[in-house]
């Protein structure tokens, strides 16, 4: 199921880190500022005292000398040995007798720091006397430069220690909050899982008193939601089975088979013929009388298993139980050659199973077959198959008899391999694009469809896929389609495309390995790519589905189950696998405005699927009445001929053109 993502915003851990960091920075900066301010005041006071004492001492010294030369030597010695900006000796009338001065020694201190510290240049004065008479005055101006330099260096040292303490504290806080908030992180993970529709996650009850009741409530809610979802799926699954499935064989019932047959034969989007066959167990009524009805049901169930296994190996095949011991099988797009071979294999296998239940050599299964031409009415096609069956029953051998088979040219079955190889290797492959719209009519994405040039005509996938499967070329087609689609994604960064992968490709380990490498190499392009696979693959190829889930988690590509509801499997897989969407096929959409069973199924399943965090897409909407019903169901996106036919270019290229 889809993995949800948290809403945009800041994590509690980061908010806590930011708050504590801001608080610590404020405290440390304030402490550093106050400490530096007090130290500045102390330096200013010391400079004032030092300058005053120096002036007094110099005045006393100069009062003891008798000549100006001695006075100059004393002044020079004191000036050179101290931090003074100037020393001046002046006479009684103010004339300068001697003066020494220099610039402030505060190199390397930035101007903003000088302005902030504002250390004054103190001045000291002292009288000079000769005997008892004043002979002049000495004026000493201190130099705050060295003190300012020391203050700046001390400030830088304090900043370094503040940074070290801050980083160490933040590291301890980061490690501590990781441990302290771990229970909250588990709770957040559970909430995201619930948002994504994953009800299996449970959170261990923490020791934190305030969180414990919240965790208990979340676990209880998750368990209740999980049980509710399973009950909903079981109810819908059972109702669907009762409405559409034969309880003995596990195949479709007659009504469902005929509905699916009409959908495949008479679809406007991709109608094509195929082979219709009716199997009948000879003398089944006598077997029932002799062995009993339970034995007859077991025999029919075994025959149903054979048919279902055949369906798994041949995607697109539909089957259903007819009246009594009849089983109907439709092979879409198959020709007489393929149909005859497959039907003979099934006849012999079912006859062997019949003999195992009855007696060796007694059980016989016979088949009447015909080519299903969309130009004929359903009743005519069934009548032709029944005509072949009546001819087969004239004997007692397991045979396939064709009733009114339509002719087929030898070239239809002999040179397909050469034609397909040439089309895939050259320019015989082109892509068409079918837009997918929201119920409000807004484009959501575009489905990528392949067309092959066969004998001068462009053919849709439904027409050539059976031949690709016969010659093991499905993976080659899917590789080419993916490569071309990724090129378009690179050209149009605003587009979202969907590509359907064939079951045969997913069964090919080499293709899966190539797919993983190609998606990884595509980078961010994969976030705008949907990969769809048939619902049958969930049961037939669980390892391949698990591999796709890993690719989706690693690269961001999104996964979609195609042909939802037609795989013959329980819907509980929706709670097991990590997919982002399902696509409901035309089997449920065709004439939905007249089919209460199909409408009930979709109205029940759509909200259940969306509650799991998945998107619901619908395909095959061909008429306005179908579109009106689908619009009322709040699905995520819809496509079909009623909305738009496949186009030769993506919508962005058509708009630019």
Lowest mean pLDDT: which of 59-68, 294-303, 430-439? 59-68
Pairing of strands 365-372, 274-281: antiparallel
Looking at the fold, whether 219 and 237 belong to one and the same domain comes out as yes
Instruction: State the average pLDDT over residues 411-440.
Output: 78
Looking at the fold, whether 287 and 403 belong to one and the same domain comes out as yes
Lowest mean pLDDT: which of 6-15, 129-138, 309-318, 373-382? 6-15
pLDDT at 513 over 90: yes
Instruction: Identify the band that residue 270 occupies on the pLDDT scale cut at 50, 70 and 90.
Output: low
Q: Give φ, ψ of 636 to 5 degrees.
A: -85, -35
Q: State the Cα angle at 460 between 533 and 336, rounded to 5°.
A: 95
pLDDT at 561 over 70: yes
Instruction: Identify the band that residue 346 occupies on the pLDDT scale cut at 50, 70 and 90.
Output: very high
pLDDT at residue 316, as a whole number: 79
Rounded distance, CA 586 to CA 270, Å? 11
- Residue 184 inside a domain? The answer is no
Looking at the fold, whether 356 and 444 belong to one and the same domain comes out as no
Contact between residue 590 and residue 610 where contact means Cβ atoms under 8 Å apart:
no
Instruction: Identify the band that residue 410 occupies on the pLDDT scale cut at 50, 70 and 90.
Output: very low
Looking at the fold, whether 304 and 213 belong to one and the same domain comes out as no
pLDDT at residue 197, as a whole number: 65
pLDDT at 155 over 90: no
Looking at the fold, whether 389 and 458 belong to one and the same domain comes out as no
pLDDT at 407 over 50: no
Instruction: Identify the band that residue 409 occupies on the pLDDT scale cut at 50, 70 and 90.
Output: very low
Q: pLDDT over 90 for what percent of the chain?
A: 17
Q: What is the pLDDT of residues 389-402, one digit of tens each?
A: 888 887 778 788 88
Instruction: Identify the band that residue 406 occupies on the pLDDT scale cut at 50, 70 and 90.
Output: very low
Contact between residue 62 and residue 71 where contact means Cβ atoms under 8 Å apart:
yes
pLDDT at residue 303, as a whole number: 93
Looking at the fold, whether 102 and 234 belong to one and the same domain comes out as no
pLDDT at 543 over 90: yes
Dihedral in degrees, nearest 10, Cα atoms 627, 630, 634, 639: -60
Instruction: State the average pLDDT over residues 404-409.
Output: 47
Q: Which residue has better confidence, 327 or 654? A: 327
Instruction: Count the alpha carbons within 13 Å of 334 in the hemisphere toward its beta carbon.
Output: 26
Rounded distance, CA 594 to CA 586, Å? 14
pLDDT at residue 530, as a whole number: 94
Lowest mean pLDDT: which of 290-294, 329-333, 509-513, 651-655? 651-655
pLDDT at 243 over 80: no
Number of domains in the chain: 4
CATH number at residue 652: 3.20.20.450
Instruction: State the average pLDDT over residues 161-173.
Output: 85
Looking at the fold, whether 211 and 254 belong to one and the same domain comes out as no
Rounded distance, CA 449 to CA 478, Å? 11
**Sheet with 96-101, edge to edge strand ranges:** 96-101, 84-90, 133-142, 123-130
Instruction: Identify the band that residue 555 occupies on the pLDDT scale cut at 50, 70 and 90.
Output: very high
Contact between residue 438 and residue 404 where contact means Cβ atoms under 8 Å apart:
no
Contact between residue 461 and residue 448 where contact means Cβ atoms under 8 Å apart:
no
Q: What is the pLDDT of residues 72-121, one digit of tens each?
A: 888 888 888 877 888 888 888 878 888 888 877 666 788 887 787 777 78
Contact between residue 342 and residue 400 where contact means Cβ atoms under 8 Å apart:
no
Instruction: State the average pLDDT over residues 630-652.
Output: 88
- Residue 189 inside a domain? The answer is no
- Residue 183 inside a domain? The answer is no
Question: Which of 364, 385, 408 corresponds to the end of one domain?
Answer: 408
CATH number at residue 285: 3.30.70.270
- Residue 7 inside a domain? The answer is no
Q: What is the pLDDT of residues 4-29, one digit of tens each?
A: 444 456 777 788 888 888 888 888 77
Rounded distance, CA 170 to CA 26, Å? 14
Instruction: Identify the band that residue 436 occupies on the pLDDT scale cut at 50, 70 and 90.
Output: very high
Residue 183: which of 222, 212, 220 has the closest Cα?
212
Rounded distance, CA 408 to CA 274, Å? 12
Lowest mean pLDDT: which of 83-87, 238-242, 593-597? 238-242
pLDDT at 616 over 90: yes
Contact between residue 59 and residue 126 where contact means Cβ atoms under 8 Å apart:
yes
Looking at the fold, whether 227 and 259 belong to one and the same domain comes out as no
Q: What is the pLDDT of residues 357-391, one digit of tens each?
A: 887 667 888 898 988 877 777 778 888 888 888 88
Pairing of strands 318-321, 326-332: antiparallel
Looking at the fold, whether 488 and 399 belong to one and the same domain comes out as no
Looking at the fold, whether 419 and 517 belong to one and the same domain comes out as yes
Looking at the fold, whether 234 and 87 belong to one and the same domain comes out as no
Using alpha carbons, list the distances in angstroms from residue 116 to 34, 119, 163.
12, 9, 21
Residue 435: which of 650, 657, 655 has the closest Cα?
650
536 Cβ contact list (under 8 Å, min separation 6): 311, 312, 315, 503, 563, 566, 567, 568, 569
pLDDT at residue 70, as a whole number: 81
- Residue 190 inside a domain? The answer is no
Instruction: State the average pLDDT over residues 623-642.
Output: 90
- Residue 62 inside a domain? The answer is yes
Contact between residue 405 and residue 371 where contact means Cβ atoms under 8 Å apart:
yes
The DSSP 8-state label assigned to residue 533 in this structure reads E
What pTM was computed for the model? 0.63
On average, the pLDDT of the chain sits at: 82
Rounded distance, CA 49 to CA 654, Å? 89
Contact between residue 89 and residue 141 where contact means Cβ atoms under 8 Å apart:
no
Reduced to 3 states (helix: H, G, I; strand: E, B; else coil), residue 522 is: helix
Rounded distance, CA 225 to CA 67, Å? 108
Rounded distance, CA 372 to CA 212, Å? 66
- In which domain, by residue range, is 107 found? 12-178
Question: Which of 213, 242, 271 corresponds to the end of one domain?
Answer: 242
pLDDT at residue 105, as a whole number: 64
10 Å CB burial of residue 509 (0-12, 13-18, 19+) is exposed
The DSSP H or E segment spanning 55 is helix 12-62
620 Rama class: left (phi>0) / alpha (psi -120 to 50) / beta: left
- Residue 93 inside a domain? The answer is yes
pLDDT at 575 over 60: yes
The DSSP 8-state label assigned to residue 365 in this structure reads E
pLDDT at 305 over 60: yes
- Residue 6 inside a domain? The answer is no
The residue written with tokens 């509690």 in the block is 12
Q: What is the pLDDT of residues 468-498, one digit of tens each?
A: 777 788 899 999 999 999 999 999 888 999 9
Q: What is the pLDDT of residues 437-462, one digit of tens each?
A: 988 888 899 999 988 887 777 777 76
Looking at the fold, whether 426 and 394 belong to one and the same domain comes out as no
Contact between residue 69 and residue 44 where contact means Cβ atoms under 8 Å apart:
no
pLDDT at 162 over 50: yes
The residue written with tokens 């409408």 in the block is 599
Contact between residue 530 and residue 523 where contact means Cβ atoms under 8 Å apart:
no
The residue written with tokens 């001929």 in the block is 641
Instruction: State the average pLDDT over residues 559-586.
Output: 85
The residue written with tokens 């998107």 in the block is 615
Question: Which of 355, 385, 408 corresponds to the end of one domain?
Answer: 408
* Paired tokens of 227: 């049980």
pLDDT at residue 271, as a whole number: 61
Contact between residue 401 and residue 388 where contact means Cβ atoms under 8 Å apart:
yes
């Amino acid at each position: 199921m889809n993995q949800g993502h948290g809403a945009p915003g800041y994590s509690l851990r980061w908010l806590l880190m930011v708050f504590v960091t801001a608080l610590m920075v404020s405290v440390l900066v304030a402490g550093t500022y106050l400490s530096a301010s007090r130290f500045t005041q102390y330096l200013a006071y010391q400079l004032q005292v030092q300058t005053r004492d120096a002036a007094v001492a110099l005045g006393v010294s100069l009062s003891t000398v008798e000549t100006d030369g001695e006075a100059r030597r004393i002044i020079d010695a004191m000036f050179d040995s101290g931090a003074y900006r100037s020393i001046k000796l002046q006479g009684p009338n103010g004339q300068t007798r001697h003066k020494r001065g220099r610039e402030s020694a505060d190199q390397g201190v930035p101007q903003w720091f000088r302005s902030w510290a504002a250390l004054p240049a103190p001045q000291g004065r002292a009288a000079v006397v000769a005997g008892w008479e004043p002979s002049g005055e000495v004026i000493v101006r201190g130099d705050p430069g060295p003190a300012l330099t020391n203050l700046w260096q001390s400030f830088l040292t304090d900043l370094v220690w503040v940074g070290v303490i801050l980083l160490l504290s933040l590291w301890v806080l980061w490690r501590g909050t990781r441990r302290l908030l771990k229970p909250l992180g588990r709770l957040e993970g559970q909430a995201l899982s619930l948002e994504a529709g994953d009800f299996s996650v449970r959170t261990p009850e923490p020791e934190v008193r305030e969180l414990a009741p919240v965790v208990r409530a979340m676990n209880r809610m998750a368990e209740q939601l999980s049980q509710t979802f399973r009950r909903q799926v079981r109810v819908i699954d059972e109702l669907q089975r009762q409405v559409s499935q034969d309880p003995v064989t596990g195949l479709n019932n007659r009504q469902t088979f005929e509905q699916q047959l009409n959908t495949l034969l008479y679809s406007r989007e991709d109608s094509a013929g195929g082979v219709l066959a009716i199997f009948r167990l000879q003398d089944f009524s006598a077997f029932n009388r002799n062995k009993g009805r339970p034995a007859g049901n077991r025999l029919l169930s075994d025959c149903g298993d054979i048919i279902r296994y055949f369906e798994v190996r041949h995607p697109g095949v539909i089957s259903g139980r007819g009246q009594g011991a009849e089983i109907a099988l439709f092979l879409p797009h198959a020709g007489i050659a393929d149909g005859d071979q497959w039907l003979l294999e099934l006849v012999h296998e079912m006859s062997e199973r019949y003999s195992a239940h009855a007696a060796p050599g007694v059980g016989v299964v016979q088949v009447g077959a015909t080519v299903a031409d969309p130009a004929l009415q359903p009743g005519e096609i069934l009548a032709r198959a029944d005509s072949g069956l009546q001819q087969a029953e004239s004997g007692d051998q397991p045979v396939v008899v064709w009733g009114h088979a339509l002719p087929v040219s030898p070239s239809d079955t002999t040179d397909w391999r050469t034609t397909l190889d040439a089309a895939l290797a050259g320019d015989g492959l082109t892509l068409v694009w079918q837009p997918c719209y929201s119920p409000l009519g807004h484009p959501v994405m575009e489905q990528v469809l392949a067309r092959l040039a066969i004998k001068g005509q462009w053919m849709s996938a439904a027409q050539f896929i059976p031949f690709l499967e016969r010659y093991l070329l499905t993976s080659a087609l899917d590789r080419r389609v993916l490569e071309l689609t990724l090129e378009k994604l690179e050209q149009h960064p605003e587009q979202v495309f969907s590509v359907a992968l064939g079951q045969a490709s997913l069964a090919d380990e080499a293709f899966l390995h190539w797919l993983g490498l190609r998606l990884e190499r595509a980078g961010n392009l994969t976030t705008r790519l949907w990969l769809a696979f048939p619902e049958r693959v969930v049961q037939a190829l669980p390892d391949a589905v698990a591999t796709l889930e890993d690719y989706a988690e690693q690269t961001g590509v999104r996964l979609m189950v195609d042909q939802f509801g037609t795989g013959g499997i329980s819907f509980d897989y929706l709670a097991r696998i990590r997919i982002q969407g399902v696509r409901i096929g035309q089997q449920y959409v065709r004439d939905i405005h007249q089919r209460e069973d199909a409408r009930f199924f979709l109205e029940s399943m759509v909200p259940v699927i969306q509650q799991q965090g998945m998107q619901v897409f619908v395909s095959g909407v061909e008429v306005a009445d179908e579109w009106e019903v689908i619009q009322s169901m709040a699905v995520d996106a819809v496509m079909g001929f009623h909305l738009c036919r496949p186009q030769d270019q993506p919508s962005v290229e058509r708009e630019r053109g």
